[in-house]
Amino acid sequence: MSKIPPFDLSEQYKIIGDEVNAAVLAVLSSGRYIGGAAVEGFEQQFADYISTSECIACNSGTDALYLALRSLNIGAGDEVITTPFTFIATAEMISAVGATPVFVDIEAQTFNLDLDLVEAAMTERTRAILPVHLFGQPVDMTRLMAIAQRHNLAIIEDCAQAVGAEWAAQKVGSIGHIGCFSFYPTKNLGACGDGGAVTTNDPAIAARMRMLRDHGRRAGGYYHEAIGVNSRLDALQAAILQVKLRYLDTWNQQRRAIADRYQHLLQHVPNIAPPQEPVGGKGVWNQYTLRVLGHTHSAEQTKSSYRDAVRQQLQADGVSSMVYYPLPLHLQPIYTDQAQPPKLHPIAERAAGEVLSLPMFPELSPEEQDRVVYSLKDCLV
Ligand SMILES: *Cc1c(COP(=O)(O)O)cnc(C)c1O
């Protein structure tokens, strides 16, 4: 029996390969490889898609976070509130600009920042809140924006896993002050390499991010007004992303249909808790992540959980699954070598020991999905 991968990008290429090839060849023959019509066209189309006035393409989702933080002059002495249950880049870039990430625990149902805990984590140094729409499920942005307004804080949305997701019928990345996107190949809108973008409705912030992504200069001259970086999106990637953006809504609907089917097939299965879509939000299912329950563990024991045994057995059945993320950020070596013991975040720690992401990509067939569910049920008894 063939193996079922966690995602399969070659299937997508079989469908849109001709269009991608034509777009790539057009860039190659244009002779314009940095900037130019392909990049500007993509920026315009992506801004229209997210419904912001501005989009600045850059080299990765990581750089998008860096540019967002720098554009707000967040740096040494500042604190940014964020989640410990995310990919490292979220907190890493807060540290990279010289600020301190202040972790706040997550909600058990959505794996997203627990908004009940955010205000208690604020100090006079807090400058911004950096929520992550994890696995493609949106944070309650109505409530978060109200909190931010009350305390005069900026909101930088990490939308890396949530392109096209909505809160109260508005796209994520258009609600906070800045939205940060990744076009890493396995994201819902993936390039054939690295890529990223920031979105905003604030022209001054946009101008500053454009300047910072290009060595701290404006419009390509040799006058530098800030220490910037080289973080441009390649014209080749921009051309590929223009093609793929036209399919994004279809792919997101296919992911939704697959998620609905998983929900239906897994509803009465013991020892698991399927994911829940937040009321008021529309997710885009970058991952279908459930919890494997039934066994206790602590922060130290997350390495050998019941979940890991289930995962190994699935693997032996030819079904790939993934663990995002096995160690919360507040327990990572880079955030634990201070003098004091780390502040604990029990919901995130528990999630790290229980989460399991099942195969999820638009081309996953019902037959493959049936096999995943059949194997999982078999492993859980
Ligand atoms: C992928 C990802 C990033 C980083 O994006 P890159 O393009 O890989 O640099 C940041 N945050 C989250 C939540 C991500 O999933």
Q: Which residue has the higher pLDDT, 79 or 379?
A: 79
Do the two domains 9-245 and 248-380 of this chain adopt the same fold? Answer: no
Between the alpha carbon of residue 381 and those of residues 41, 229, 302, 374, the distances in Å are 53, 53, 21, 12
Query: How close is the Cα of 139 to the center of ligand 1, in Å?
Result: 17
Residue nearest to atom 1 of ligand 1 (CA): 160
- The alpha carbon of 264 and the centre of ligand 1 are apart by a number of angstroms equal to 30
Tell me the C-alpha distance between 101 and 98, whole Å: 10
pLDDT band at 304 (very low <50, low <70, confident <90, very high): low
Domain residue extents for the chain: 9-245, 248-380
Ligand 1 centroid distance, CA of 63 (Å): 9
Q: What is the mean pLDDT of residues 8-25?
A: 93
Reported as a single tens digit per residue, the pLDDT across 199-243 is 999 999 999 999 999 999 987 789 999 999 999 999 999 999 999
CATH of domain 9-245: 3.40.640.10
Give residue ranges with CB within 6 A of ligand 1: 60-62, 86-87, 89-90, 132, 158, 160-161, 182, 184, 194, 196
Which residue's C-alpha comes closest to atom 2 of ligand 1? 160
Under CATH, what is the fold of the domain 248-380?
A: Aspartate Aminotransferase, domain 1 (3.90.1150)
* pLDDT, position 169: 97
What percentage of residues in the chain have a pLDDT greater than 70? 97
Q: Is 104 helix (H, G, I), strand (E, B) or coil?
A: coil
E strand residue ranges, the chain: 54-58, 79-82, 100-103, 126-130, 154-158, 166-167, 170-171, 178-182, 196-200, 272-273, 281-282, 288-292, 355-358
Q: What H or E segment, with its residue span, contains residue 267?
A: none
pTM over 0.85: yes
| Centroid of ligand 1 to alpha carbon of 135 (angstroms) | 11
